[in-house]
Structure 1
């Protein structure tokens, strides 16, 4: 049964959303300012967006960011799913808790520490900083996120489903591909989109492991901001915000599509 929110709760939620989204809408609003500053709105213009999309170097950086985000999310999802299956199949409670604790280290650790650790690792290993170092680091900090998204779905799954499949003659591969993976698909999709969003927005770790000649949007926005206030930053940030919002909307529709039909009718 659904419970109605009290008026004070609705007011509280409204205040929280206003606080969270006002700076974003302020940034988006002034990305159309012809005055070139964030103080006085002189008139509407799309010049900043035209300048943004005519910048070849910036378009290459956008492409770099998208490629790194997609590849790291895909590889982290594959590794994270098998990692979650391995943790789920551990019988000893203490061992399982130890593995979960190790999995959560990269989530609770400060990004600065993680970035510095990867920088030391790549430097000692002789790896040149650039695309590969950024991709490897993004995969590493995305794997625990995928594991945490997939494990709850595995814990929800009834063991009788697997037993029934084996009784009907299914081998281990059939059990994995025809029973387990279809059941945990919502968790897999959630892990993929979470990893994609984290990779796309990450700054701290990327700042440490990126090298000369390779950059991502978050690092580029930071570099532009250090040079002074420019509405190019507003336009770029607006595009980034809209892209992230689009990912959330796609993820929402995927969840609605995978939701059992009977659940939507319950009140």
Structure 2
């Protein structure tokens, strides 16, 4: 029995090693003074200094963060109301249709989505740049938020809403004081997922970005095509550490929101 219990742990360890070994390899050579990824000659922070001294790169980082935050906020708002519409629609056929339409952007290849947005923006006359990237990111983030929020709505007992209505609560009060507090963990999860997808996306952004605007993923791709540079390693290391920070932050926020919900129930 003990051997059988060890196999899952061994299997997971192998999977994590395969997944994280290239990342740590990249991070290790970001401190290499030789400027190559073949031999480690000495420790240096020159590549990180080069990243922070590159004004153009810092502007791209700022553009990426602003775009990700805006798209995450807007897609979270739209996604929450979309999940509410799907949950409380009366006809099952309409509900299934809405769910199917919501899942189209999730299962469709990014290349097809990016090409579709490029054709759409060209037809309606939207200039490729910040606006086109923002709209595209909002579009593919909304279904993700819906998927994260909908299970929390399905978990909520209808008795909570009925009790609030019996006590004289209006529709707005039911939404703001009963439904939204209950699904807050799902909303946070949807926001962070949308933020992560926006920061990480390359395929869709590559199609809809213009000459005057780019994001980190597209810039890293452009730098990689020019040849091996440890500046890419340093930049990728910074992005990875920021991502880890976001994950840890979300973990503590979800724990805190869960604790607050538990306190409210005990009261």
Q: Normalization by structure 2: what TM-score?
A: 0.95
Secondary structure at 1:177's aligned position in 2? helix
Which residue of structure 2 lines up, in the alignment, with residue 112 of structure 1? 111
Secondary structure at 2:164's aligned position in 1? helix
Instruction: Tell me how large the CA RMSD over aligned residues is.
Output: 1.2
Secondary structure at 2:43's aligned position in 1? coil
CA distance in 1, matches of 2:118, 2:248: 35
Residue 262 of structure 1: CA displacement? 10
Runs of 4 or more off by more than 6 Å in structure 1?
A: none
Which residue of structure 1 lines up, in the alignment, with residue 33 of structure 2? 34
Matching of residues 252-267 of structure 1 within 5 Å: 252-260=251-259
CA distance in 2, matches of 1:107, 1:245: 24
Secondary structure at 1:45's aligned position in 2? coil
Matching of residues 1-267 of structure 1 within 5 Å: 6-260=5-259
Secondary structure at 2:15's aligned position in 1? helix
CA distance in 2, matches of 1:100, 1:247: 29
> 1:244/1:124 Cα in 2 relative to 1: closer, same or farther (>3 Å)?
same
Residue 33 of structure 1: CA displacement? 0.3
Residue 260 of structure 1: CA displacement? 4.4
CA distance in 2, matches of 1:209, 1:139: 13
Q: What are the Cα deviations for residues 124-163 of structure 1, in whole angstroms up to 9, with x where unaligned? A: 1111100000000000000000000000000000000000
CA distance in 2, matches of 1:12, 1:23: 18
Question: Which ranges in structure 1 are unaligned for 5 or more consecutive residues?
Answer: none
CA distance in 2, matches of 1:261, 1:193: 20
Question: Which ranges in structure 2 are unaligned for 5 or more consecutive residues?
Answer: 263-267
Residue 116 of structure 1: CA displacement? 0.2
CA distance in 2, matches of 1:50, 1:260: 42
Secondary structure at 1:23's aligned position in 2? helix
CA distance in 2, matches of 1:149, 1:220: 30
CA distance in 1, matches of 2:124, 2:234: 39
Which residue of structure 1 lines up, in the alignment, with residue 265 of structure 2? none
Secondary structure at 1:169's aligned position in 2? coil
CA distance in 2, matches of 1:51, 1:213: 22
Residue 261 of structure 1: CA displacement? 7.6
Secondary structure at 2:211's aligned position in 1? coil
CA distance in 2, matches of 1:176, 1:261: 19
CA distance in 1, matches of 2:201, 2:115: 14
CA distance in 2, matches of 1:262, 1:115: 40
> 1:261/1:9 Cα in 2 relative to 1: closer, same or farther (>3 Å)?
farther
CA distance in 2, matches of 1:65, 1:245: 17
